[in-house]
Amino acid sequence: MGMPMNERGKIILEFLTDLFIEANADLHAGTLTSNWCRLVDEMRLVLGKFSPYYTPENEYILAMTQKSKRFSGRYFLYR
What is the chain's length? 79
The neighbour count for residue 30, using CB atoms within 10 Å, is 14
Q: What is the pLDDT of residues 21-60, one digit of tens each?
A: 998 888 888 877 889 988 988 888 888 887 666 555 555 5
Can you give the pLDDT at residue 34? Answer: 87
**Alpha-carbon gap, residue 11 to 18, rounded angstroms:** 11
Give the C-alpha separation, 59 to 70, whole Å: 17
- At 61 the pLDDT is 52
Per-residue pLDDT, 69: 47
